[in-house]
Amino acid sequence: MSYPPDGPYGYGYSEPTPWAMGVPVSVLVAALTAAGVYSFGTALAEIHPLLAALVNLIAVGGVAPTAWRWRFQPVTRWVIAGLATGVLLGWIALLA
């Protein structure tokens, strides 16, 4: 595991992790993202299934570098965790 240069809690301070606020944020973002990925994927799959897969992969590939840079920021890390979980759940729902 690699930590940011200022310590394991990110960017110069070492406060405890706010689990009580972070987990609900992640769950809400994951639910909204999964619904969006599933809805958009089914709409594209009606046109052509390969188009749905291609657009999803291009979108995730474009967002991944930015998400990777933001993973240690105090608030954004919860949103990034929710986005990653939501995309994964949306893809699983599309395959089912």
Count of structural domains within the chain: 1
Q: What is the pTM of this model?
A: 0.78
Looking at the domain assignment, is residue 52 inside a domain? yes
Looking at the domain assignment, is residue 54 inside a domain? yes
Residue by residue, pLDDT tens for the chain (96 residues) are 555 555 555 555 556 778 888 999 999 999 999 999 999 999 999 999 899 999 999 999 999 998 888 887 877 889 999 999 999 999 999 998
Looking at the domain assignment, is residue 1 inside a domain? no
Residue 72, domain extent:
30-95
Q: Pick the closest to residue 51 from 64, 62, 40, 35 (CA basis).
A: 40
Looking at the domain assignment, is residue 82 inside a domain? yes
Looking at the domain assignment, is residue 10 inside a domain? no
Looking at the domain assignment, is residue 16 inside a domain? no
Looking at the domain assignment, is residue 24 inside a domain? no
Q: For residue 71, report the phi and psi dihedrals to the nearest 5 degrees.
A: -65, -20
